[in-house]
Amino acid sequence: MAETVPSEQDHHLLDCIGLYCPMPVLKTRQEMDRLAIGETLEVLADDPAAEPDIKAWAKRAGQKILEIEHTSEGLRFLIQKIK
């Protein structure tokens, strides 16, 4: 089954560039709490700890990481709220 691409309306951006542990994961959790089921959050972070922290949080919280991209600025996560 193909994954659906979120529309602009269902897609939110959280810029955590320059923030360090534990702020990227805390802000991600707070922003995900505001979203409706099915919406996605794009998180930008440059803290090396953000990847393991956000992965662990998503697993614990039951949210779905659709994509993790390593960019020249740091990391880009695409997370879908599934519950």
In a domain? residue 77: no
Look at the chain and report how many structural domains it folds into: 1
Of these residues, 11, 14, 19, 21, which one is catalytic? 21
pLDDT at position 7: 52
Residues (pLDDT < 70) of the chain are 1-9
CATH of the domain at 48: 3.30.110.40
- Whether 16 is catalytic is no
pLDDT at position 46: 98
**pTM higher than the cut 0.85:** yes
In a domain? residue 1: no
pLDDT at position 73: 92
In a domain? residue 76: no
Over residues 6-18, the pLDDT tens digits come to: 455 678 999 999 9
Return all residues near 32 (Cβ < 8 A) that are at least 6 apart. 41, 61, 63, 79, 81
In a domain? residue 20: yes
